[in-house]
Structures are given as structure tokens and as C-alpha cells.
Amino acid sequence: MNAKFFLWLVSLDRCWSAERRARHGLPHDPHCKLCDQEFETMDHLLVQCVFSRITWHEILSWCRLPVPLPDANSSFFAWWSALLAASPASPRKGLNSLVALTAWSIWKHRNAALFDDLRPSTDALVHTIKEEARLWSRAGALGLAFIIPIT
């Protein structure tokens, strides 16, 4: 439920990224907390950041899904739509669950780096996403059991 709420906030441009804080005249560090290279926008954070693209590559490779990866110019929702359009019909529900989980996990990892001084780690994030995907699958997340490996 938290992941769906998060995606709803992203769609409304209501997440407090550096870009949004700047628009509202609030103090902010403009750099992405995950890569420390670019200005932090939600599109950068979720799909354009090298850290996020590595995460997406690892997760989609783990599921052995032959789908397009985001590139440095992708917008999150445009990429997600293209991802669904390029995938066969049978894994789409599971793919939607996986995208929601991964995006939500990237956001939480960013927040831990920002607020708890966590050192960003793609290995740790990918491990967390895989464990959470297994839990979501056991809890009945639509279609997820069909796309994630058993072990």
C-alpha cells in the first residue's frame, strides 16, 4: 500500500526532491544523494541516475525479463509505459508490482542516505528488493510469483 501511495505522490509531483524544495524556496542540497553527480529530480532519482539504472538492470536481469532498461533521458512514467508495451501480456501484472516495489525501494534508500547518513549501495538495495519481492509474492502480489526466481 505504501508503494502505491508513493507512486501516486510521484505522479502528482508531490515528493520532496531537491527540485521541489528549490521550487518552494526551501533549503536543499541540489545533488542526488545516490550518485552525487546530478541535480535531484524524481525522474533522475528513479530512472536517470546511474545508481538507479544499475539497480533496474540487476532486478530485471534477476527476473530474466527481456525488457528495455531506462536510459539517462527517460522519464519514469514514460519508461514504465514503454516497459509494459514491450513485455508479453502474461508477466505484466508481476512487472507492475516489481516496478512499484523497486521505485519505492529506491526512494527509501535515498531517504536513508539523506536522513540517516546511509552510504548508498546498489548491492544492499538489490538484496533488499529481492527479499521484499519474495515476501510480496508470498503475500499474493498479483503476478509476481510468475516472474521472480524461486530461490
Give the mean pLDDT of 104-109. 98
Report angle CA 28, 30, 34 to the nearest 5 degrees.
Answer: 110
What per-residue confidence (pLDDT) applies to 142? 81
pLDDT at residue 151 greater than cutoff 70 = no
Residue-wise pLDDT for 112-134, tens only, equals 999 999 999 999 999 999 999 99
Nearest to 65 by CA among 108, 102, 107: 102
Q: What is the mean pLDDT of residues 60-67?
A: 89
Q: Please, what is the average pLDDT of the chain? A: 94
How far is the C-alpha of 34 from the C-alpha of 113, rounded, in Å? 7
* pLDDT the model gives residue 89: 86
Give the integer Cα–Cα distance in Å for 147 and 134. 11
Q: Which residues are CB-contacts of 42 (< 8 A; sequence separation ≥ 6)?
A: 10, 13, 15, 17, 19, 76
123 burial type by CB count under 10 A (0-12 exposed, 13-18 middle, 19+ buried): exposed
